[in-house]
Amino acid sequence: MSKDSPKIITNVVGIMATNSYVVYCPVTREAVIIDPGGEPQKIIDSIDETSLNPTGVILTHGHSDHMAAAADILKNYNIGLAIHSDDLDTMKKSIEEAPLWGLGQIEEPAVEQLLKEGDRIKVGNITGSVLSTPGHTKGGISLKFDRFVLAGDTLFAGSVGRTDFFGGNRETLLNSIRLKLLELPDDTIVYCGHGPSTTIGDEKKRNPFINGML
């Protein structure tokens, strides 16, 4: 593995135990924060303790349990936020409904960049790419870096994302998994929005939602 290979920090945050990730370049120490779903100080501490320099925040989708701490993080580091253009309405609606889910009042973060399929994510000496994986939400994305992918709530260990929320569609979700995620090498690590990580190969073997696709 190259000395420039990306590193990842996982913080489990908020009442819904969301996995918030920090992907960073071990050489330049530049970092990008993925899905800061709560407990901003916990995320900030993990970044500062590792002596990282965050350059941006990316949301895999606009649900409030994945962006509840975004506004605080943006202000703390004076950085911008990126999300797929098709999930702006999802973010606004989810913020409105956050109190109903026990998440309280959430400040809407300012969006600096709108992402689309194929966009490159530059973090120091490493580069990732945006995979459009809608279905859980209309504008859901996954982020591919080297030997791993951050799949948000598209794919879980042994399961898939819910499609009964605003903008969700089961057929679209399964197509995203089949056409984008299952095309990755079997040894690709999948960092999920909730729960443990897995691999593409393991999900092909064990995930009951995927068996019918192969």
Query: What is the C-alpha to C-alpha distance for residues 144 and 203, in angstroms, rounded to an integer?
Result: 17
Crossing angle of helices 70-77 and 40-49, rounded to 10°: 40
- Structure token digits, residue 30: 């530049």
Tokens standing for residue 104: 């309280």
Residue appearing with tokens 């799949």: 151
Residue 108 in domain: yes
Structure tokens at 67: 């962006």
Of 151, 161, 114, nearest in space to 21 by CA: 151
At 100, give phi and psi (nearest 5°).
-65, -25
Q: What is the CATH number of the domain that holds 83?
A: 3.60.15.10
- Residue 118 falls within a domain, yes or no? yes
The structure's pTM equals 0.96
Within a domain: 1: no
Number of domains making up the chain: 1
Q: What angle do CA 21, 26, 28 make, to 5 degrees?
A: 110
Domain that includes residue 94, residue range = 7-213
Local confidence pLDDT in tens for the 214 residues of the chain:
566 799 999 999 999 999 999 999 999 999 999 999 999 999 999 999 999 999 999 999 999 999 999 999 999 999 999 999 999 999 999 999 999 888 899 999 999 999 999 999 999 999 999 999 999 999 999 999 999 999 999 999 999 999 999 999 999 999 999 999 999 999 999 999 999 999 999 999 999 998 767 6
